[in-house]
Amino acid sequence: MTRIEENYQRITDDRRSFDIRFWQSQGDRAIFEAVSDMLHDYFLIRGKDANEFRLQRTAESFQKA
């Protein structure tokens, strides 16, 4: 069973300690999946190809380390 955490505060409050504590407790994989889901939704809302958001990197040169 998943643990549910709730926080009630005014939207105008700048205290982000709950958010920081929550996301740090989730771990790297959960954070990455949440960001991936948000990017996917963003591209779908904008009417763009959802596969377009994948990270793309161009190698400009190779050197011996």
Domain parsing of the chain, residue ranges = 18-51
* 42: nearest Cα among 29, 57, 52: 52
Given a cut of 60, is residue 1 above it in pLDDT? Answer: no
Report residue 9 as tokens: 């505060």
pLDDT score of 19: 83
Report residue 1 as tokens: 């069973």
pLDDT digits (tens, 9 = 90+) for 5-48: 888 878 777 778 888 888 888 889 999 899 888 888 888 888 88
Classify residue 57 by its DSSP letter: -
Would you place residue 57 in the very low, low, confident or very high pLDDT band (cuts 50, 70, 90)? Answer: low
